[in-house]
Amino acid sequence: MWAAGFTEHGGPEVLRLIELATPRAGAGQVRVRVRAAGVQPYDCAVRAGWTPPGVGPERPLVPGNEFAGVVDEVGAGVTDVAVGAEVLGFGQLGAYAEHVVVPADQVTAKPAGMPWEVAGGFSAAAQTAHIALGEIRPAPGETVLVHGAAGAVGGVAVQLAIAAGATVVGTARPANHAYLRELGAVPVAYGDGLAGRLKEAAPHGVDAVLDGAGGVALDLSLDLVADRRRVLTLVDHGRADELGISVTPYARSRERLAALAGRADLRFLVRRTYPLARAADAHREVETGHGRGKVVLLVGQEASSA
């Protein structure tokens, strides 16, 4: 099979098309012929030099921990997923490829009306947003501040917080403000004067913060919230303990993904797709930061028709 991977860490240019043996599904696993795979900052960190827990020194490494495709092999003991099923799912690595193998309980049925590119990029963003909001607990009548609100995680978080009855203030570049208004958020621009704009948008402070930007934006947020336990950062993990704030626990599950994928009220924006051969370009775009929606790789038939 073809995959986009690397043999040494570095910039986006180290990602290349490589030919690998097609994996087989073992006991309790399914093999998925990938149609689309999401691109995340997580993947860029793996490529740049970070090694996820449990990953050994073997190379090449193939990034990608969310995907959508068609099951083409099931391992022994798998009774609830059939060959031919259209699924979306998640793993740790390996999704930038024509085939990926994961435990059967890490895939769920793709809704019939969900486009492949949306399904490929949905799992990580939607589950991360849902898990994070479960930690900061928005409630009716409260005000929630979301930094990086136009991104894939931020956009889902905005919608989930509003659905919970909260008012959402979202930071983003001015070019993304119309999009945030469409989602129901009050947009605020980054940059000089951010503190004043946040106080104007939330004169009585905020009840909870979901931080997808880090740095200055996070620091300013701490003056607006009374309880730091209701501040969660997606990006500034190294400072979480000293600031007394939270990070997202690992709690992805088939059940969570299925429930989110089945919600007709969630809008999920894919801003650009790339063929697998241009994975390096996809990483370059993600690393520009603060983009609207998700970047997705198309694989096989989807790439050839793009």
Buried residues in 223-258 as b, exposed as e (16+ CB within 10 A): ebbeeeebbbbbbbeeebeeeebbbbeeebebebbe
Return mean pLDDT, the chain. 95
Contacts of residue 89, defined as CB under 8 A and 6 or more positions apart, other chains included, come to 32, 66, 67, 68, 102, 106, 107, 108, 123, 254, 257
**Mean pLDDT, range 238-259, rounded to an integer:** 96
Contacts of residue 289, defined as CB under 8 A and 6 or more positions apart, other chains included, come to none
Domain boundaries, the chain: 2-124+252-305, 128-247
**Mean pLDDT, range 164-191, rounded to an integer:** 97
**Confidence check: pLDDT of 301 > 70:** no
**Confidence check: pLDDT of 249 > 50:** yes
Only one residue has tokens 């929630």, namely 144
Give the pLDDT confidence score for residue 177 in this predicted structure: 97
Give the pLDDT confidence score for residue 303 in this predicted structure: 55
Strand, helix or coil at 228? helix
What tokens does 132 get?
């994070």
**Confidence check: pLDDT of 125 > 50:** yes
**Mean pLDDT, range 174-180, rounded to an integer:** 97
Could you give the count of Cα atoms lying within 13 Å of 171 in the half-sphere of its Cβ? Answer: 29
CATH number assigned to the domain covering 2-124+252-305: 3.90.180.10
**Mean pLDDT, range 242-262, rounded to an integer:** 97
Of 135, 102, 136, 99, the residue nearest 299 (C-alpha): 99
**Confidence check: pLDDT of 305 > 80:** no
Of 122, 118, 62, 72, the residue nearest 276 (C-alpha): 62
Q: Is the pTM of this model over 0.85?
A: yes
Give the pLDDT confidence score for residue 289 in this predicted structure: 84
Total count of residues recorded for the chain: 306
The DSSP output letter for 229 is G
* The CATH homologous superfamily of the domain defined by 128-247: NAD(P)-binding Rossmann-like Domain (3.40.50.720)
**Confidence check: pLDDT of 306 > 50:** no
**Confidence check: pLDDT of 304 > 90:** no
**Confidence check: pLDDT of 158 > 50:** yes
